[in-house]
Structure 1
Amino acid sequence: MSVLLDADRNTAPQSHIDELTRRVTLVFLVVAALTLMWFTQVDRVLSALMDHLAPCAGDCLNIYEPAQWSVVRWMAAVLLATLSSLPLMAFNAFRFAKPGLMQTERRALGLWLVATMMFTFGGVLVLLYSVLPAVYQTGYIHHIGIGLEAQYSAVQLLTFAGYVVTVWMTAVLVWTTTVILGRMGWLTASTASLWRWRTYGVAALVLVATAPETGRSVVLPTLGIVMLINEALGHRWWNLLPTMRGELIETFDSMGARRRQAIIDCSCEGANAFGGLLEQRSEASIRVNGLCTSSVEREKILQFVVVAKLTDVVVTGCNTASCPSLFKENLQSLRCNFSGMDLMGLASHRGDPSYVHPHELEAAIIAATPLSHPGEVSRRVKHWAAEQHLSMVQLNEELWSEGLSPLLIEDGTGITLLPNLNPASTKTS
């Protein structure tokens, strides 16, 4: 599936791979260089950190496994280098992804990167300078209270602190992702399961892969806490319907395939007198000002199709001939059918083109719905007329009495909405 926006360039995939390789290589080289730089200072950093984290004033910290101490030093250097490289990582990620994102997606990615870095650095400082010393102090007081001698492993103390920092970074990624997606309108009932699998899957993988041997038993409780907080943060979006008027209902066509249809209520830059006509109806619809003239609104529709997983989109004003071919190709890439009611064409033969009969509107919606074969349109129109307790003869007589043309039903070929051919018509409003 490939979607090419109006401002995009049709670039060969190899150029994207080359750019990705350059940026990833740059990040790895910087992380490696910073790791070596931090390793020369890691003893001073760890010494200062242990002095701050130590729960006792005396010599209660010992190194029982010198080999493990070397591992801790390298892990600390890598962690410090990674934290130091976060701004560079964020910048390269944004620059690489920017050409392929919609305007709202670029804004969401920028907010997510900034929020993630701010909460990560702020949380790490709070953990190392306030929370962990308080936790260690509480444990020390408990040990002294029950008569135990306070002797602790410096390796385990620092390993636990490093794992807590990793847990916090992972949790921030999950929480900020949920909040940003919800605020941008992308987290809805139709996408909730997908984003749950993505965020919780990554979180579980990171927590399991980085857990120390002595901390394996806390992985599941920790993951559960992260998930519970995330569910609480996103509770207002998990069951939210996509942004639109009306209700999006799944239906089945004559072949049994699922269909999810929405109507684009386009005012055609003011030329369509029927703009806003669907506001009182129950069909799922989204209002735009000029689909064929505004690239921003076309991106809005594409995003709406992706989020709501639409299979059919119907525009009200025209027959889609004036819409850019690139927009149609993008909808085709998204496996979404595109058709038009052409209400302006239907009303262009009248003295007052601002009037449309409710029966005509209903028939136009049905006629514009892409179905398996034309005869299905006739069947649905007849079924709808029966629900109104009208035969097709009675329905057409009602239209004719108001100076409007009847609906031409041709079995096996579908429905035709005729222009006003009634010479006795006096309907002007």
Structure 2
Amino acid sequence: MLSRIDLRGRVPSPAELRAALPRAETDVDVVLDRVRPMVEAVHHRGVEAVMEFTEQFDGVRPATVRVPAGELAKAERELDPKVREALQETIKRARLVHADQRRTDTTTQVVPGGTVTERWVPVQRVGLYAPGGLAVYPSSVVMNVVPAQTAGVESLVVCSPPQKDFGGLPHPTVLAACALLEVDEVWAVGGAQAVALLAYGGTDTDGAELAPVDMVTGPGNIYLTAAKRLLRGLIGIDSEAGPTEIAILADETADPVHVAADLISQAEHDTLAASVLVTTSEELADQVDVELRRQVQATKHDERVTTALSGKQSGCVLVSDVDTGVKVVDAYAAEHLEIQTANAQEVAARVRSAGAIFIGAYSPVSLGDYCAGSNHVLPTGGCARHSSGLSVQTFLKGIHVVDYSADALREVADKVIALANAEDLPAHGQAVAVRFDLGRFEKR
């Protein structure tokens, strides 16, 4: 079921690996021309345009953008007790992990009378997106809201697409998750129009203000991603999320039943989802293929999974040894990386590029999706080479506060003037010189 790339006996360069490894082909540029008019329409016509696009794409027209408080309370009240318990445990564990990510202000005394303080300030208002579509994602509500709340964000709004089956409201489990997190502002809007409305704000159908945000986070489809790209600058964004992906680095010690199950679990998301096995064992690869055929038949979304596993974005890479395997997964830079090898902790410590790493037979990606305490909003498409997943840090701004006395500035005045002259910016030097009657620069 998985196509194979045989790298045994050679170690390709990083550039060769990037070209050879399977990857989902998504080109945001292709849809930019379709999304740009939508963004402009929301900019100029506000909620009226939002409602038109919502009716067109979601097949429903909500009475208002903002979900009434009573609907949030109702969703929480009617939530299945087992799901409630699971969500509460997810929230508890996420809060434990994210609490340790808080930053503290740091003051450095550069010289007597001269200090620089790095002060951490939360973004004032953020928009958090929980996708709809093929699945329901209350877990994404948790993964967005918990770090934002922990960072101290004062105002946040959760956006999720309205559902025709639920009277134009987001899925009730999403609403219940918001209620459990004490989020009282939820907008029934999805896709590119959600990002545009978050960026520009507007007036709801009942006359209430829909205030714009400073940052938008959360995964979504290619149209939402295109809107993020178009509006970046007016708003901050976490990343341009692509199709989800898993890579598993495994040797002969791995259990093919576990490996196959984990590859399938990621393929379940979307037909473009990527499932990649990197292994030193051809025997394991053969056993995994057998298990994939057996387990896919028994899974609910078998057609979706089959399409994803047989697509060009998925595959099995055979390598000569674990050292080469580490180089391969570093070049791939997976959103989710499982290490199922002997000495898995030591191998994991050598990996430099992954959104999140899952060590050993009992740390599957699905644990991280829900109850590990880690965040599952992670970089995709190789962006883990340079970017991190969502965290408390995402919602914080570092501000340098400079506080120098007259004596401390005088001590370095000649150096500031020298560097200003070297850069042909004499007014920079003059700004220091006038404070100490050091003379004025003549125009040259």
Q: TM-score, normalised by structure 1?
A: 0.24
| Bigger fraction of residues in helix | 1
The structure showing larger relative contact order (alpha-carbon pairs under 8 Å, at least 6 residues apart) is 2
Q: TM-score, normalised by structure 2?
A: 0.23
